[in-house]
């Protein structure tokens, strides 16, 4: 297991962590000030400053991209299906332009939440079948663009509105079904927040292996959690044994970035430099 206590070489910043404090240009400047060498930007943040400018800023700063957030939201009714496909293909193109290591996929929950305007449904089994089919289609496109896709299983609390892929096993079952040869085109993005509770976590990480482990995200689960979406904790402030999960991932050969992604009204209200300084300190002491 790598020693993170001496530096933050392997810290990546998911830019949603400071999305309220500044635009992507400001975040990239802040990363330079703090010696942060990798980011994972969100599409809306890229769009807000323009893709070309984002590409230039990333390149000029010498940043690596540990992922690009996000593709997916595959579940939709028929009327929205082609928009879903086009939207996801654009995500792949943007990720390629930015030089991202993968596109992170949040697959969508029930169609009315995934793609607003879609006909309401309570059929989560049908939603899961849709994810399979739409992902198969996108995978063809992504292979040609040489852009790996990383399915992010989301905590079951988001099954209705964000992702009906809720366990590492489920994500890996999709990988095995759509990429049985383990070509490197499809894998998983594991966020400790979503998976820490899973009784099958360790065997499923072992099953994933190095070639399926495309991204590793950290934050913490607070008790109590006051808001299901925007009350995630800074590493060390909650109940997740983060280091044991990182140990399991690295035991498989994962040697990439430990990406900090914190959706938090509390941290969004702090100055960007203070958030980043805390991230660095916790990366060294807790992650």
Site residues (vs a second copy, CB under 8 A): 110, 113, 122-124, 128, 155-157, 159-161, 164, 166-167, 169-170, 196-199, 221, 223-225, 228, 238-241
CB of 224 to a second copy, least distance (A): 7
CB of 91 to a second copy, least distance (A): 24
Report helix, strand or coil for 260: strand
Closest CA to 21 of 276, 282, 246, 278: 276
Report helix, strand or coil for 48: helix
CB of 170 to a second copy, least distance (A): 5
Compute the radius of gyration of the chain from its Cα atoms: 18
CB of 75 to a second copy, least distance (A): 13
CB of 281 to a second copy, least distance (A): 19
Report the residue number, 65 or 205, with the smaller CB distance to a second copy. Answer: 205
Report the residue number, 123 or 140, with the smaller CB distance to a second copy. Answer: 123
Helix (H) or strand (E) holding 12: strand 11-14
Report the residue number, 51 or 202, with the smaller CB distance to a second copy. Answer: 202
Report the residue number, 62 or 120, with the smaller CB distance to a second copy. Answer: 120
**Long-range contact set of residues 237-244: C-beta below 8 Å, sequence gap at least 24:** 239/196, 240/192, 240/193, 240/196, 241/196, 242/192, 242/218, 242/286, 242/287, 243/1, 243/286, 243/287
Report the residue number, 210 or 243, with the smaller CB distance to a second copy. Answer: 243
């Amino acid at each position: 297991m790598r020693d993170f206590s001496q530096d933050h070489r392997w810290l990546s910043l998911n830019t949603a962590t400071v999305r309220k404090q500044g635009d992507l240009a400001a975040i990239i400047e802040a990363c330079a000030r703090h010696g942060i060498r990798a980011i994972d930007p969100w599409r809306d943040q890229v769009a807000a400053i323009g893709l070309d400018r984002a590409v230039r800023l990333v390149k000029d700063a010498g940043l690596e991209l540990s992922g690009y957030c996000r593709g997916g939201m595959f579940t939709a009714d028929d009327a929205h299906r082609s928009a879903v496909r086009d939207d996801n293909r654009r995500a792949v193109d943007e990720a390629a332009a930015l030089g991202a290591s993968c596109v992170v996929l949040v697959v969508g929950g029930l169609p009315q939440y995934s793609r607003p305007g879609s006909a309401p449904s309570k059929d989560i089994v049908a939603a899961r079948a849709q994810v399979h089919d739409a992902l198969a289609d996108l995978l063809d496109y992504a292979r040609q663009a040489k852009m790996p896709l990383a399915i992010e299983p989301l905590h079951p609390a988001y099954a209705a509105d964000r992702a009906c892929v809720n366990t590492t096993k489920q994500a890996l079952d999709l990988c095995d079904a759509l990429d049985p040869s383990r070509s490197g085109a499809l894998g998983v993005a594991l966020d400790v927040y979503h998976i820490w509770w899973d009784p099958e976590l360790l065997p499923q990480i072992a099953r994933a292996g190095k070639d399926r482990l495309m991204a590793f995200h950290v934050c913490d689960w607070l008790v109590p959690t006051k808001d299901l979406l925007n009350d995630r904790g800074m590493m060390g402030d909650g109940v997740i044994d983060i280091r044991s999960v990182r140990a399991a991932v690295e035991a498989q050969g994962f040697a990439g970035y430990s990406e900090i992604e914190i959706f938090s009204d509390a941290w969004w209200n702090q100055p960007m430099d203070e958030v980043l300084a805390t991230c660095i300190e916790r990366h060294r002491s807790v992650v």
